[in-house]
Chains A and B, each alone.
Chain A
Amino acid sequence: MIELSELQLDALNETFNVSLSRAAAAFADLVGEEVELTIPSVEILDRSALATRLPGNGERMYGISQEFNVHRSFHTKALLVFPERSSLDIVRQMLGGSVDLEQITEIEQDALAEVGNIILNACMSSLADMFGAAVEGTLPHVLIGTAPELACSDQLQSETLVARVGMRLANRDVSGFMLFMMDAASIQGFTQQVDRVFGI
């Protein structure tokens, strides 16, 4: 299990704070209204801890997934997860849907993927700029399942960097969380970049 010092955790929090500010700005520009993103709490969890810390009430969640590769540094599968109800609120707010369908339609699902794409891209590009490296990524995909199903589906990763983020959109509280699944080598590469940037 990778242990991070307090200094490193502070640095990670600051890193995501900066990157998510850019994501919030990009998202606000898309939806045309102010979006508040809370400062995430960052921690590294192993698989069993991850399963217990995520919402475990069996609620259906929507996850927007993209893989990113920062050349010669780290590779990560980023997952932005919202509860189904919040996902419905987001897309209906943006698309103006009037039907209280219980399921997101295919078109709405794509819109949700774009929302996640904007946030994840903004986050990763901020990280890449901070690290002075290029980032290569995949297009977003939407996954549906419970939080443990979404987060623990990748059998290869034993440890995960978890950043919880809250959003406030049009007077509605929408809470979600962001996962950066990396193998041990990638976590090490990532923290090395953070150490270098912050002079740790």
Chain B
Amino acid sequence: MPVSPIGRIDPRWALPTLDEVEAGLVVLDALGHIQIWNRWLERRSGRSAEQVIGRSLAEAFGIPLERRFAYMLKQALEHGLPVLLSHGLHPSPLPLFVEGQQGERIKQQVTLKPIFVDARPCGCLIQISDVTEIVRRETLLKTQANSLAERLQRLSETQAELQYSETRFRQLASKAPVGMFETDATGHVVFANERWCRFIARPLSELRARPFFEPLAGEQRAQLAAAWEKSRVVDAPCNIDCRLGDPAQRACWLRIELTPIHAPGATTSGYIGTAVDLTDEKEMTLRYAYSATHDSLTGLHNRAHLETLLAHAVTGATAGTGPLSLLFLDLNGFKPINDAYGHETGDRVLRVVARRLRRELREDDAIGRFGGDEFVVILSDYSCRADIDGLCARLREAVTKPINVGTQLVSVGCALGRADYPVDGADATALLQRADANMYEDKARAKRDR
């Protein structure tokens, strides 16, 4: 075996002796009798060198050696084989203790190194290390690693559950028949389902991390922003009916409800928004409302609504908001057309007349179908009599133009009566009666002039 070189050693050096080595050292002769027993062993075995020199290990300790230790010792002494007795497999093979204490043996690692003379084993060096502290540290490490592994496992399971839960939510939300979106505490979108994106006409990529109402414009945006602010301030759900889309196009009506989400600790962590499409319902409501106030044939106000409008106009005029005039129109020669060509032609004539009359009027002027072939016009804010005279002339002209009823042209005449507030009446009924009367006078005059 190669031998490590030794340098020059000064004889004055106080080299450490075997008694200063911090490990147990035993030298056995070929018969297994102790020849060296250092101080470390004396302190931990409770036996002095004088007590054990010349004895076997079993005699020195007063107990038989462990079977494995005895076998390994034999291997070393008889066959010259070096042996390691690891702590893991032989925790404490020898009865050694913390100095001055009895009870639990110190944890040991033992090596047996044969000693050779002329290539023949003639003894053995046994080295014993105290690995108690190493074992303690490793046990602690394993305990902590165990604990950490369990916590990681629980965390992993929780994360998996959360992931599953979130995936399920996303799938449900994506298939939901309502629009859904989620925001953080500041109202910025963190999630939106497909339906909401369709309502807003924006992809999710453009919505994320921006205020949920930002993609909208004008009044719509202001409405939603106000609703969110309200929900935020009162920390309670709120809802709003909102019309989306271009006013020139078919409206999309949504009922949007905002609900705050509370994190543990009761602070608001975000908002959930749901949007239900009310378009059909709204349109139906509007249609009903329209039907209640409008004549289905001509699209003009119906009599009941017109009387309501007139009452309001009189109230306004009484309050001094401006002048008020009423026109009463009756079609001359309508009945013969109806009788000759049928109700369908008669209806067509009425629709054409209504359209022509509406075209001649201002946006603010109200016109309604008062009776079969009677029309009433409410004029507000006409400060000049001449303007009304001019309007009346245009209305007559518009009515009396020929009307194409499909197979031929027909024409009707127009008797027109006027009443001015307050001269001709101070209330709606009086004005109507006056205008009606004036209309009949106009009709009679027309007959006389023919």
Query: Which residues on A are within 8 Å of B, measured CB to CB?
Result: 30, 66-67, 69, 71-72, 75, 91, 94-95, 97-101, 105-108, 110-111, 113-114, 117, 121, 124-125, 128, 134-140
Binds A, one of B95-103, B139-147, B358-366: B139-147
What is the CA–CA distance of A67 and B86 in the complex, to the nearest angstrom? 19
Enumerate chain A residues within 8 angstroms of B1, measured Cβ to Cβ: 67, 69, 75, 136, 138
**Minimum CB–CB distance for A76 against chain B, Å:** 11
Contacts A135-B80, A136-B116: A106 and B134 contacting too (C-beta < 8 A)? Answer: yes
Contact of B83 among A67, A95, A121 (CB under 8 A): A121
Q: Is B294 an interface residue (CB 8 A)?
A: no
A-B contact pairs, 5 of them (CB 8 A): A30-B68, A107-B134, A114-B85, A117-B82, A135-B80
- Chain A interface mostly helix, strand, loop or mixed? mixed
B149 close to A (CB within 8 Å)? yes
- In the bound complex, residues from chain B placing their C-beta under 8 Å from that of A110 are 84, 86-88, 109
Q: Which residues of A contact B84 (CB under 8 A)?
A: 110, 113-114, 117, 139-140
Question: Is B121 a contact of A134 with CB atoms below 8 Å?
Answer: yes
In the bound complex, CA of A91 to CA of B86 (Å): 11
Indicate if the CB atoms of A136 and B80 lie closer than 8 Å.
yes
Q: Are A94 and B80 in contact (CB under 8 A)?
A: no
In the assembled complex, the Cα of A137 lies from the Cα of B75 at a distance in Å of: 12
Complex: A128 Cα to B109 Cα, angstroms: 27
B146 touches A99 (CB 8 A): yes
Nearest-neighbor residue (CB-CB) of B75 within chain A = A121
Determine the chain B residues whose CB is within 8 A of the CB of A75 once the complex forms: 1
Q: Which residues from A are CB-within-8-Å of B120?
A: 134
B111 contacts which of A101, A121, A139 (Cβ < 8 Å)?
A: A139
Judging by beta carbons under 8 Å apart, are A100 and B149 in contact? yes
List CB contacts (< 8 Å) of B50-108 with chain A.
Answer: 68, 75, 79-89
Q: Is the CB of A30 within 8 A of B89?
A: yes
Question: What is the CA–CA distance of A97 and B116 in the complex, to the nearest angstrom?
Answer: 38
Shortest B77–chain A CB gap in Å is: 13
Measured between beta carbons, the chain A residues less than 8 angstroms from B116 are: 134, 136
- Cα distance A172–B131 when bound, in Å? 31
Bound Cα distance from A134 to B121, whole angstroms = 8
Kindly list chain A residues whose C-beta atoms are within 8 Å of the C-beta of B89: 30, 94-95, 111, 114
| Contact (Cβ within 8 A) A98 B146 | yes
Q: Does B146 lie within 8 Å of A95, measured CB to CB?
A: no
Of A66, A69, A105, A113, the most chain B CB neighbours within 10 A belong to: A105
State A113–B83 Cα separation when bound (angstroms).
10
Nearest-neighbor residue (CB-CB) of B1 within chain A: A69
- Of the candidates A101, A128, A138, the one whose C-beta lies within 8 Å of that of B82 is A138
Q: Kindly state the separation between the CA atoms of A135 and B114 in the bound complex, as whole angstroms.
A: 10
Q: How many whole Å from A103's CB to the nearest CB in chain B?
A: 10
CB distance from B168 to the nearest CB of A (A): 31
A113 and B86 form a contact (CB under 8 A) = yes
Q: Does B319 sit within 8 A of A, measured CB to CB?
A: no
Contacts A30-B89, A134-B80 known; A105 to B138 CB distance under 8 Å? yes
